[in-house]
Amino acid sequence: MKNALEAYLKEQKIEYYGVLSYSDCREIGKEIIERSGIVPRSVILYLVPYYVGDGENFSSYATSYDYHIILREIGEGIISLLKRYFPDSHSVAYGDHSPIDEKYAAASLGLGVIGLNKLLINEKYGSYVFIGDVVTDVDPEKLCAQGPVLPRGCVGCGKCLDACPTGILSGDESLGCLSAITQRKGELTDAEIALMRSVGTAWGCDECQRCCPHNKKIAVTGIEFFHRERITRLERDAVEEMDRSAFIKRAFSWRGKKTVLRNIDILEGGAACEGE
């Protein structure tokens, strides 16, 4: 199984991965694993690098197709392998909404350090990585699980704290995260609109990543998925013309087209509400 997993992930251009005992992970969503019906024993965790280039007026992670698509495909591939070698096993794949603290688990595997910006930072791809994990009831010994290492922090220069538009990284929670603001439905406040315009973002926020010294000279991802049909700038006409099948393939689609169009209008000096 170890060799098969390595071969499969290599084929997917996944270079950084590992296996932990579930007991060595920080469980942050007990209800999530309870809903799965699995008795968790092991976690297969992997990093999916996504950086191809910056977006002009939105986050780089959203310039490509929705990353949940490829996380799901890779996770399903791992589950198929587990079924092949352990026919009676039960497993479930996660990404973003996991029962474990994925960043802490990845750092415990030595796959990166945890930055002051709360992101996992990999030595090759910087913080431009998604974390996927498969939780399974297969015993960790059968998957050659690693013993955890003590998670390390970044260089601690504080540049991300200074660059954060809302100050949330420094403990000021009055405005929240700018990325979350851009994903909020309905009418925004004058302060929120001003923040979006000052940064020039119609979706997400990469300010704490762009200034990070760990992200200098990072490698471009070798995963073809992130290179296909990229959008480098959000334009009203282009978004309006997307039919539903095209729109839902994008990471910026989950809050609906009206929210994205509202944000584009804000940057262009328009209204702050989504309208009808």
Backbone angles phi, psi at 252, to 5 degrees: -85, 5
Residues 101, 118: Cα–Cα separation, whole Å:
12
Residue 86 pLDDT: 98
| Contact between residue 228 and residue 167 where contact means Cβ atoms under 8 Å apart | no
Report the SS3 class of residue 7.
Answer: helix
Q: Is 27 exposed, middle or buried (0-12, 13-18, 19+ CB in 10 A)?
A: middle
Residue whose C-alpha is closest to residue 239's, from 271, 262, 266, 273: 262
**Catalytic-role residue among 24, 96, 137, 243:** 96
Please state the domain extents for the chain.
2-143, 166-204+236-267
Residue 276 pLDDT: 38
Residue 185 pLDDT: 95
Residue 222's CB: how many other CB atoms inside 10 A? 12
pTM of the model: 0.94
In tens digits, the chain (276 residues) has pLDDT values of 999 999 999 999 999 999 999 999 999 999 999 999 999 999 999 999 999 999 999 999 999 999 999 999 999 999 999 999 999 999 999 998 999 999 999 999 999 999 999 999 999 999 999 999 999 999 999 999 999 999 999 999 999 999 999 999 999 999 999 999 999 999 999 999 999 999 999 999 999 999 999 999 999 999 999 999 999 999 999 999 999 999 999 999 999 999 999 999 999 986 555 543
Residue type, 73: E
E strand residue ranges, the chain: 17-21, 42-49, 91-95, 113-114, 120-121, 129-136
Residue 273 pLDDT: 57
Residues 171, 173: Cα–Cα separation, whole Å:
6
Active-site residue flag, 96: yes
CA atoms within 13 A on the CB side of 76: 6
Residues 68, 124: Cα–Cα separation, whole Å:
22
